[in-house]
């Protein structure tokens, strides 16, 4: 029995939904450990499409326990709306199959407003956030003034907490020429929804320890991608949480020995949403073709994704930083029509060849990719389910990626349907 962390090895949007669905079907427990409702997973089960934002992927399957850990920031209204939406499709959501950490911090309406204010004021320096309040909510968590799930239990405690957090936010709002935020209405709204949230709340660290003692298989489900990690990503164009595999331990309250395998979801090319460095970006016809064939639009925001060649340097860096031992390669079929395909194997920085992404933004924007070119296969791989049935050049491409990033390829996605997958190794048994 092994526990698996599943994370994106690029900038998110790697096509985690289908792989998470496959693994959540095998798991007993599925845990979300970071992020907010800015990242989405699309699952299609028996012809029904589920678009999940906060709820773990296990929620749509019977006899699975879904857990939202302390590392997640939760918009309570968005969560309740998502639960309502899922229930309308016949999914049972109750305190037995959904557990929310009582230590998780809340995203409140003024967080989203602050997100909007900052992005609009930043001009060309904007980060490209989803404007959902995730960043400001994490700031309050780090500043030790956030309101957590447990704070909804006591009206008196909630009053004190609101005084503290709004003293901070209203000072900023006044400085920016905005109206102060009304505490009375917010308190009333929170008290109204509190019972609907609190019925799911428990000490998650304790529950996970119980699951471990019962030998349950646990899937830790990451959001976004490693290159958006607050410490290890393309700072400041990153998310506000740690997205690396180690965050699964911190964001759920379990020891690092609980993690047995790390699966990095990796797209066969590279995409990015929003602003920030993108060394292999293709601002040409090929980039447009990748976007069109790959249907590169965000699940939650519908924002168009920027597209480029596979950046082996970045994925190899993600493998090292996050301890990835298996790669799930997605969207191989998107490359079917190309005459040649390129893999970035190094960068040129001011005339010097380097084999890693530099830390400073200035240098990240300066670097030029150095490519290895592979001949395209010019045949359809759509729906292929056995590795030996892939065209020879497609096999070569997969092999080149595997050797360069130094991680085994465990599965290859050859189409949008759940069964359009070549399964080579099972992360739970690796």
Catalytic residue among 37, 41, 111, 232: 41
13, 21, 229, 420: the active-site residue = 13
State yes or no: is 13 an active-site residue: yes
Say how many C-beta atoms besides its own lie within 10 A of residue 161's C-beta. 20
User: Is residue 208 within 8 Å of 252, Cβ to Cβ?
Assistant: yes
| 230 contacts: CB under 8 Å, gap ≥ 6 | 238, 239, 240, 241, 242, 243
Bridge pairing between strands 4-8 and 261-267: parallel
CB 252 within 8 A of CB 70: yes
Q: Which residue has the tokens 């907490």?
A: 161
**Residues with catalytic roles:** 13, 41
């Amino acid at each position: 029995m092994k526990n698996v962390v599943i994370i994106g090895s690029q900038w998110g949007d790697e096509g985690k939904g289908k792989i998470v669905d496959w693994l959540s079907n095998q798991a007993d427990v599925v845990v979300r450990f970071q992020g907010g409702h800015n990242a989405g997973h699309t699952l299609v089960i028996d012809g029904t499409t589920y678009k999940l934002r906060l709820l773990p992927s296990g929620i749509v399957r019977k006899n699975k326990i879904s857990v939202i850990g302390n590392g997640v920031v939760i918009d309570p209204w968005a969560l309740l709306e998502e639960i309502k939406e899922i229930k309308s499709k016949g999914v049972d959501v109750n305190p037995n199959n959904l557990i929310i950490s009582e230590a998780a911090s809340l995203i409140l309406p003024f967080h989203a407003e602050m997100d909007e204010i900052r992005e609009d004021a930043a001009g060309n320096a904007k980060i490209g956030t989803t404007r959902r309040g995730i960043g400001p909510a994490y700031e309050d968590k780090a500043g030790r003034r956030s309101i957590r799930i447990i704070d909804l239990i006591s009206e008196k405690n909630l009053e004190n907490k609101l005084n503290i957090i709004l003293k901070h936010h209203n000072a900023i709002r006044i400085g920016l020429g905005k109206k102060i935020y009304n505490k009375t209405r917010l308190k009333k709204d929170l008290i109204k929804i509190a019972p609907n949230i609190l019925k799911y709340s428990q000490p998650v660290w304790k529950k996970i320890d119980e699951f471990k003692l019962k030998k349950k298989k646990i899937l830790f489900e990451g959001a976004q991608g490693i290159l958006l990690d607050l410490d290890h990503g393309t700072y400041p164009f990153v998310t506000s949480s740690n997205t690396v595999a180690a965050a699964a331990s911190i964001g759920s309250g379990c020891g690092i020995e609980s993690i047995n395998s790390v699966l990095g979801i990796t797209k066969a090319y590279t995409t990015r949403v929003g602003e920030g460095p993108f060394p292999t970006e293709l601002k040409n016809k090929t980039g447009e073709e990748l976007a069109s064939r790959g249907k590169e639009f965000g699940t939650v925001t519908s924002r168009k994704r920027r597209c480029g060649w596979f950046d082996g340097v970045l994925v190899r860096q993600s493998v090292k930083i996050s301890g990835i031992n298996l790669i799930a390669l997605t969207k191989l079929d998107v490359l079917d029509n190309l005459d040649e395909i390129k893999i970035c194997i190094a960068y040129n920085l001011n005339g010097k060849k380097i084999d890693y992404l530099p830390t400073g933004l200035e240098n990240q924007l300066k670097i030029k990719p150095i490519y290895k070119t592979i001949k395209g296969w010019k045949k359809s791989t759509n729906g292929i389910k056995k590795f030996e049935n892939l065209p020879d050049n497609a096999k070569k491409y997969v092999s080149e990626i595997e050797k360069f990033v130094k991680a085994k390829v465990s599965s290859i996605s050859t189409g949008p349907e759940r069964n359009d997958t070549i399964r080579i190794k099972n992360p739970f048994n690796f």
